[in-house]
């Protein structure tokens, strides 16, 4: 498969305006007639929601830490089917990545620079122009020459204060031979509301998110040279595309071809069912409280033979015929009262878990399964209370499974990511799901395996662990068969 050309939107540091630029660029290119594939470097779930609104197709992640560097290019090709250009938003600063075991390396694992090198795509550096003058030339010279694997194709000046300021900055860019691809004025009204884990997800922000995205598109369309961006785009020439059925190592009889994501329109959090032949129904939580997920998760579940039914725990019941439940991450702490009010679903989920239905719960899903969340009653599957905590827990983890479950075998090693500001209190003893060592060397045991429930704060990427998806669907099929015999 020939790769779709891409540009990578990077910055010297966090807070430079990458998300505004990337989201606006995606939408502006789309309005100019391009079919745009949106990507985000790293495990971030929130930015892809805004990308998806701008692109009209799911935003996807490229994370070498969670899926392995060898899968980045195939996943990229899979996500660009039917597109003529891709926009890849970076993470943090261009060369920032996982630091636990990679200090001293020029290209850190999971960094924007690593992904740009893997894709063979040029980098557009977004610079927050506030406080910059002639010395910008020295900063750009450093970024352009730091690593020969990285091709810096141009600069976008963000938050420019005046015409005179722009002239000085353009002269600095000329001095190091980097073209200015755009210059955006300061626009405070574009700020999107945020909270403890970053931007408010697009699904929760509703019409305000759509308005913010439209404003980003208008800003970029007016101040960025879209034709120059399109000419700059590039990528490695050819190679295989990621295939969810092939990733499962053995094609499943009757497994469907997953619907081409380029077809039709897409809205984040939309309800719907992906049907296979006669496989087990996997109910996947969505809606405003459960917004964290990867597009490849549904695709792998469908490739393994499952019927994937998306439901909203704020007001829905479990879908008819449910044989397994996926409770992904999100912000249940922001919707605890509404979640608690859906008594019928809480009771049904608790009864199903105790009856042996496989349940995969990550972060928000773990909180939903506790006895209570900030004093609001939850499902009571995990014997613990949860509350909003004093500090953010964030970072990659090299974890080992401690207990056999529907997804993992004890002793299996997995890379995951934590991202939460809640904590469990008054937790009763249970079989732990994971163990890892904290950066300070402390041994951590985390999560719980109860019946066929696997609940944990750890986020994993299904594309990096396809065998876990096959195991979960098989467990759901076994449960469905047992219930049919009752």
Q: Which residues are identified as catalytic?
A: 363
H or E stretch at 52: helix 47-55
Coil, strand, or helix at residue 366? helix
Cβ density class 141-166: b for 16+ within 10 Å, e for less: eebbeebeebbbbbbbbbbbeeeebb
CA dist., res. 146 & res. 152, Å (int) = 10
List Cβ neighbours of 5 (8 Å cut-off, separation of 6 or more).
Answer: 84, 85, 86, 121, 233, 234, 235
Report the length, in residues, of the chain: 486
Structure tokens at 300: 């792998």
How many CB atoms sit inside 10 A of residue 481's CB? 11
- Cα gap 249→403, rounded to integer Å: 24
Are the C-beta atoms of residues 417 and 396 closer than 8 Å to each other?
Answer: yes
CA distances (Å), 383 to each of 183, 372, 425, 447, in order?
Answer: 54, 9, 10, 11
In DSSP terms, which residues pair with 185 in a beta bridge?
160
447/359 Cα distance (integer angstroms): 13
Q: Which residues contact 386 (CB under 8 A, 6 or more apart)?
A: 366, 367, 370, 372, 373, 374, 378, 422, 423, 424, 425
Closest by CA position to 6, among listed 90, 97, 68: 90
**Contact present, 152 and 178 (Cβ < 8 Å):** yes
Contacts for 136 with CB less than 8 Å, ≥ 6 apart: 127, 129, 169, 172, 173
């Amino acid at each position: 498969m020939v790769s779709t050309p891409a540009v990578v939107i990077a910055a010297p540091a966090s807070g430079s305006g990458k998300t505004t630029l990337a989201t606006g660029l995606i939408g502006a290119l789309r309005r100019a007639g391009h079919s745009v594939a949106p990507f985000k470097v790293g495990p971030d779930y929130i930015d892809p929601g805004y990308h998806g609104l701008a692109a009209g197709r799911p935003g996807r992640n490229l994370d070498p830490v969670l899926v392995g560097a060898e899968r980045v290019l195939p996943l990229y090709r899979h996500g660009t089917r039917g597109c003529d250009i891709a926009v890849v938003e970076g993470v943090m600063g261009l060369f920032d990545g996982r630091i636990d075991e990679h200090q001293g390396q020029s290209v850190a694992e999971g960094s924007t620079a690593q992904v740009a090198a893997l894709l063979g795509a040029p980098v557009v550096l977004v610079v927050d122009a506030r406080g910059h003058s002639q010395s910008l030339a020295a900063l750009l010279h450093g970024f352009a020459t730091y690593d020969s694997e990285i091709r810096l194709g141009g600069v976008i000046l963000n938050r420019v204060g005046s015409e005179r300021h722009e002239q000085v900055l353009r002269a600095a860019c000329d001095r190091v031979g980097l073209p200015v691809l755009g210059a955006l004025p300061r626009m405070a009204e574009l700020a999107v509301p945020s909270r403890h884990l970053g931007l408010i997800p697009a699904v929760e922000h509703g019409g305000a998110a759509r308005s913010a995205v439209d404003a980003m598109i208008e800003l970029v369309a007016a101040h960025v040279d879209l034709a120059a961006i399109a000419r700059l785009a590039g990528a490695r020439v050819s190679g295989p595309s990621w295939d969810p059925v092939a990733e499962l190592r053995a094609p499943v009889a009757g497994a469907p071809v997953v619907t081409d994501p380029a077809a039709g329109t897409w809205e984040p959090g939309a309800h719907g069912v992906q049907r296979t032949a006669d496989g087990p129904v996997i109910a996947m939580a969505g809606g405003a409280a459960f917004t964290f997920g990867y597009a490849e998760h549904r695709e792998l579940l469908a490739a393994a033979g499952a019927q994937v039914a998306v439901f909203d725990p704020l007001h829905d019941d479990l879908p008819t015929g449910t044989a397994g439940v996926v409770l992904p991450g999100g912000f249940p702490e922001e919707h605890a009262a509404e979640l608690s009010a859906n008594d019928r679903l809480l009771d049904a989920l608790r009864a199903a878990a105790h009856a042996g239905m496989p349940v995969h719960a990550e972060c928000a899903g773990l909180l939903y399964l506790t006895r209570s969340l900030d004093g609001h009653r939850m499902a009571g599957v995990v014997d613990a209370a949860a509350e909003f905590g004093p500090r953010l827990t964030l970072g990659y983890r090299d974890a080992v499974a401690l207990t056999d479950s529907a997804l993992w075998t004890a002793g299996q090693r997995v890379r995951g990511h934590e991202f939460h500001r809640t904590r469990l209190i008054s937790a009763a003893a249970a079989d732990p799901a994971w163990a890892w060592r904290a950066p300070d060397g402390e041994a951590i045991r985390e999560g719980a395996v109860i019946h066929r429930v696997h609940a944990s704060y750890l986020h994993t990427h299904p594309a990096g662990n396809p065998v876990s998806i096959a195991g979960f669907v098989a467990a759901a099929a076994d449960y469905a068969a047992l219930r049919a015999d009752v």
